């Protein structure tokens, strides 16, 4: 597609449930990034995939968070046993390898844990 | 990542130049400075980047001091649509951008 696509755009879930957030990057972009943005706050880095290399998971806040990427395509961010503090907008970006000036962000998934 | 420091907020009159400063005194010799902005309810958008020389594109100009310890993003004729949070980032070799708190620019009529 022309841009980075994220789904769902909005998700309301009950505390304790698991959620899956999806990101479709731009075709040909080997790098994919997940960020979290709480209301009124800056972007927190979560995880970074680059080609077939082991992902950089250094930003994942707890073992309840995990992410996968199939080859150089779709990525799924999974949050297990959601907590209210997980409520945030989850943003995905993709880029060509090493192109830090070429991040294209999706519109995000707004997650609300009630 | 090199630590960057930006003022939390700034105002600018519509049609005037907006000059957004950034300090990055610990930047290393091969680290670029990147600027992104985030308009409300959207994902961040790339603006410009530079290493040593001043840079200009259709969106903005970037002035980097000779010692590379600071830089200024210039929006030459700010419009209301330039109201956004502006992020100055100096990434290391970790391969990803780490966003700070940025500067919230308010362009006022």
Instruction: Give residue-wise pLDDT tens across range B12-51.
Output: 999 999 999 999 988 888 889 999 999 998 999 999 999 9
User: Of A69, A38, A70, A71, whose CA–CA distance to A56 is shortest?
Assistant: A69
Which residue in A has a C-alpha nearest to residue B50's C-alpha?
A101
> What's the confidence (pLDDT) of residue B100?
87
B26 touches chain A (CB under 8 A): no
Residue appearing with tokens 């830090």: A100
**pLDDT category, A51, cuts 50, 70, 90?**
confident
Chain A environment of B5 (Cβ under 8 Å): none
When scoring A10, A31, A40, A43 by the number of chain B Cβ atoms within 10 A, the one with the most, hence best to mutate, is: A43
**pLDDT category, B2, cuts 50, 70, 90?**
low
> What's the confidence (pLDDT) of residue B93?
61
Contact A105 B44 (CB under 8 A): yes
Contact A100 B42 (CB under 8 A): no
Note the pLDDT tens digit of each residue in B53-81.
899 999 999 999 999 999 999 999 999 99
Residue A33, burial from CB neighbour count under 10 angstroms (0-12, 13-18, 19+) = buried
* pLDDT, mean of residues A106-113: 96
Secondary structure of chain B as H, E, C letters: CECCECCCEEEEECCCCEEEEEECCCCCCCCCEEEEEECCCCCCEEEEEECCCCEECCCCEEEECCCCCEEEEEECCCCHHHCEEEEEEECCCCCCCCCCCCEEEEEEC
> What's the confidence (pLDDT) of residue A99?
80
If one counts every other C-beta atom within 10 angstroms of the C-beta of residue B25, the result is 12
- With contact defined as beta carbons under 8 Å apart, do A37 and A54 qualify? no
Chain B environment of A48 (Cβ under 8 Å): 95-96
- With contact defined as beta carbons under 8 Å apart, do A40 and B41 qualify? no
> What's the confidence (pLDDT) of residue A1?
54
Q: What percentage of chain A has pLDDT greater than the value 70?
A: 99
Which of B43, B45, B98 has its CB closest to that of A108? Answer: B43
């Amino acid at each position: 597609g022309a841009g980075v696509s994220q789904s769902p755009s909005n998700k309301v879930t009950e505390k304790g449930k698991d959620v899956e957030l999806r990101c479709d990057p731009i075709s040909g972009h080997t790098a994919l990034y997940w960020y979290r943005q709480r209301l009124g706050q800056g972007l927190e880095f979560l995880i970074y995939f680059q080609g077939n290399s082991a992902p950089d998971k250094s930003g994942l806040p707890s073992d309840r968070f995990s992410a996968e990427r199939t080859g150089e395509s779709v990525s799924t961010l999974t949050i297990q046993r959601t907590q209210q503090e997980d409520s945030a907008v989850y943003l995905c970006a993709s880029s060509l390898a090493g192109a830090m000036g070429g991040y294209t962000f999706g519109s995000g998934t707004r997650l609300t844990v009630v | 990542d090199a630590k960057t420091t930006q003022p939390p907020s700034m105002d600018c009159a519509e049609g005037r130049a907006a000059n957004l400063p950034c300090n990055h005194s610990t930047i290393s010799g091969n680290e670029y400075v990147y600027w992104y902005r985030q308009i409300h309810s959207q994902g961040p958008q790339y603006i410009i980047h530079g290493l040593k020389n001043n840079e200009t594109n259709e969106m903005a100009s970037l002035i980097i001091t000779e010692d590379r310890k600071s830089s200024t993003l210039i929006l030459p004729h700010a419009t209301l649509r330039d109201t956004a949070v502006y992020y100055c980032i100096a990434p290391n070799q970790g391969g990803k951008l780490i966003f700070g708190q940025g500067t919230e620019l308010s362009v006022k009529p």
